[in-house]
């Protein structure tokens, strides 16, 4: 539960900097990716209010949110580099 909360905080934080742009995200599901999933990964905004990620680590999602190279993000627990998650709108 702590990991999921930390992931949500890291992903929502960039949205706070865009406070002047009206935003409304609906409910989303964040689940660990299937360990045997070899179908690839993607990260995109499907529409103005729908963010989707598949098979991404927390580190990769933070890098994408802030438009940073992966080496610019360091520290944190080891699972931010290894555990993969899927985020999809409900």
CA torsion angle 24 26 82 14 (round to 10): 10
Count of the separate structural domains present in the chain: 1
Q: What is the pLDDT of residue 17?
A: 47
pLDDT tens profile 6-25 = 555 555 555 444 445 556 65
What is the pLDDT, as a whole number, of residue 23? 62
**3-state SS string over the chain?**
CHHHHHHHHHHHHHHHCCCCCCCCCCCEEEEECCCCCCCCCEEEEEECCEEEEEEEEHHHHHHHHHCCCHHHCCCCCCHHHHCEEEEEEC
- Nearest Cα to Cα of residue 61 among 27, 16, 13: 13
Full domain range(s) for residue 79: 2-89
pLDDT in tens, 41-80: 888 887 777 888 999 999 999 998 899 999 999 999 999 9
Determine how many CB atoms are found less than 10 A away from the CB of residue 53.
22
Residue 18 confidence (pLDDT): 46
Q: Between 4 and 78, whose confidence is greater?
A: 78
pLDDT of residue 2: 55
């Amino acid at each position: 539960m702590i990991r999921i909360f930390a992931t949500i905080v890291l992903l929502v934080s960039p949205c706070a900097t865009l406070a002047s742009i009206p935003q409304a995200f609906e409910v989303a599901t964040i689940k660990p990716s299937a360990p045997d999933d070899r179908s690839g990964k993607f990260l995109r905004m499907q529409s103005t209010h729908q963010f989707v990620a598949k098979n991404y680590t927390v580190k990769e999602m933070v890098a994408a949110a802030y438009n940073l190279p992966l080496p610019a993000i360091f520290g944190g627990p080891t699972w931010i580099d290894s555990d993969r998650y899927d985020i999809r709108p409900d």
